[in-house]
Structure 1
Amino acid sequence: MSDKPKGMAAKGDQDVLTLETYRGVGKFQGKVAIVTGGDSGIGRSVALLLAKEGAKGIAIVHTPKEQKDADAAKQLIEKEGSEALSIPCDLAEGEETCKTIVDQVVGKYGKIDVLILNAAIQYIVPSIEETTPEILEDTYRTNIFPMFYLTKFAVPHMARGSSIVSSTSVTAYQGSKSLVEYSSTKGAIVAFTRSLSQQLAPRGIRVNAVAAGPIWTPLNPASREDENLEGFKGKEAPLGRIGQPIEAATSYVFLASQEACYMTGQVLHPNGGFVVNG
């Protein structure tokens, strides 16, 4: 993206990890993953890192209108030697859609080792008086309901040692005056993570989350007016810049890997240095 926010590090800076400089060591050799919202942003970076780590198959779940981005992500994944499965759908359609996704992946690979619950939308709503049933329902039907449904159908196909990683947000901890609807779903995801981790612990399935922010992803320009986007660009973290998707993606890879085998019910915070005490 050419219009980079002020303070964003340039490619090649020594303190910034890039997809080109990341070196996999086979952490997910032979594993099968589902990544919702895997066509762009953090989701795409997670999918690519899983491929770099040797994953056998990676299912990218995305909206039909993002097929072009999904095709590009699929090519990048396959370039790393992994199989990529593009699944266009609207997660907000509900339980049956989520069951179809799981059935498609299990039908092809016979199992699910990693479930990345990342898809989300956000609406900029300056005042609670301006929210509508449509905005509220769309936000919850997209951001939190599919996490329940996908997990419900995926868990029976997940063996001990499998992992679920969800995307919450720094807004769940700091709040956001113009993202009340979005932030509240992210708070729900924190509770979902902590509660589900206790439920699935006896089965050896770990459940964690990542609360990223501020990260430069397509979600921000897509949901913000120009003047509001300038405000986002000005949110410099203590490290002095807005983060790149891969700088959040590494937290997902760690939590899903064997290296995090004693972590469940936890949230990692790749946010450039904001202290959230969460």
Structure 2
Amino acid sequence: MSLIDPRSRHPKPPFETQPQDFPGLSADMVPQPDYGVDSYEGKGRLSGLVALITGGDSGIGRAVAIAYAKEGAHVAISYLDEESPDAEDLAVTIERLGGKCLFLPGDIRSAETCATLVTSTLAVYGRLDILVNNAAFQCPRESLLDISEDEWRRHFDTNVHGMFYLTKAALPHLKPGASIINTSSVNTRTPMPILIPYSMTKAAIANFTVGLAGSLVEKGIRVNAVLPGPIWTPFIATGMPADQHKEFGSQAPMGRPGQPSELAGAYVYLADPDNTYTTGALLPVHGGMPQL
């Protein structure tokens, strides 16, 4: 194996301006995100396990799904109806990799939908070993006065309440050794003024992670979170101002945004049954960005 200079491994700014409406599609990103189809090498770490991943059609969730499939896991993917093109493309990719994937459209803002995601996964695979709470909503606003009540609620309904509903539905079916992994953000520690509600929800996710980890130790269930920095996904096209697309990621010491594939290893590590002493961890993957 040869070494790779992380500074030049992936594209650097400037990028094209590429606004999209939420939730956004991978096919419209320029350059295309690297999801690990060719760059991630599986080693059978999750062989035979079953993972349910929200927001798994694109972005970080897609890279996690591909990595898990390459590691031998069976995956179930939750996504919004508007994201069907990405989900259909992912289905072809995972089949080509020899993996199994269950696709479950639905909005996790509904407790009933979250319960259905769990029961559908169990009905097909007969077990649930890894839950990845990854789906999120983000909308930038220059002023607090510009944030509507509906938009404020949507941040919390998607990012926090959906995580609660799904974790609660899954918990009775998780056995000792199971793993819950939440996607938080470096905004937990360094919130952006234009992303106040989003940053608040990500801080809540980090707090939930640590608290739940302590609560579930006696059941042998591990709970951890990944804190991504600037990552090149459709979330950027839909959730950041268009005038910030061009230099996105340049603020990181690495001089570029991370690619979804570069986070996949963190999610694999936290799900790997061998890492039994890791729980309550908040793992930053941010290209060297200073943290408070």
Q: TM-score normalized by structure 1? A: 0.91
Q: Is the 8 A contact 1:7 1:241 kept in 2?
A: no
Residue 254 in structure 1 maps to residue 265 in structure 2: no
State the partner residue of 2:103.
Answer: 86
1:229 CA drift (Å)? 2.5
Q: Deviations over 1:9-48 (max 9, x none)?
A: xx9xxxx994313221111111111010000010000000
- Which residue number corresponds to residue 208 of structure 2? 192
Compute the displacement of 1:223 (Å). Answer: 2.5
Aligned twin of 1:101: 117
Q: Which residue of 2 aligns with 1:265?
A: 280
State, as a whole percentage, how many aligned pairs show the same letter.
Answer: 40
- Structure 1 unaligned segments of length 5 or more: list them: none
Tell me the secondary structure at the aligned position of residue 174 of structure 1: coil
Which region of structure 1 is more displaced relative to structure 2, 105-114 or 35-44?
A: 105-114
Match of 1:39 among 57, 70, 83: 57
Q: How many residues align?
A: 265
What residue number does 1:135 align with? 151
Higher relative contact order (CA 8 A, sep 6+): 2
**Residues 7 and 253 of structure 1: is their aligned pair in 2 closer, same or farther, counting only changes over 3 Å?**
farther
Report the Cα offset of residue 234 of structure 1: 5.4
Residues 7 and 240, structure 1, Cα contact 8 Å, conserved in 2: no
Question: Which residue does 1:65 correspond to in 2?
Answer: 82
Other-structure match for 2:250: 235
Looking at structure 1, the residues matched to 14 and 35 of structure 2 have their Cα atoms a distance apart, in angstroms, of: 16
The Cα offsets for residues 41-97 of structure 1, whole Å up to 9 and x where unpaired, read as 100000000000011x211100001011001112212222221111111112x2111
- Structure 2 unaligned regions, length at least 5: 1-10, 16-30
Taking the TM superposition and a 5 Å limit, the aligned residue runs for 1:108-187 are 108-187=124-203
Within 2, Cα distance between the matches of 1:144 and 1:234?
26
Deviations 1:147-204 (A, max 9, x none): 1111111111111111010000011111100000100000000000000101111111
Letter in 2 for 1:71: E
Q: Which residue in the other structure is 1:19 paired with?
A: 37
Partners in 2 of 1:216 and 1:257 — Cα distance? 25
Give RMSD over aligned pairs.
1.8
Q: Is the 8 A contact 1:193 1:209 kept in 2?
A: yes
Q: Is the 8 A contact 2:35 2:260 kept in 1?
A: no
Closer, same or farther in 2 for the Cα pair 1:276/1:234, shift >3 Å?
closer
CA gap of 1:19–1:259, structure 2 versus 1, over 3 A, is farther
Write the distance in 2 (CA, Å) between the matches of 1:48 and 1:155. 24
Runs of 4+ in 1 over 4 A off after TM superposition: none
TM-score by length of 2: 0.86
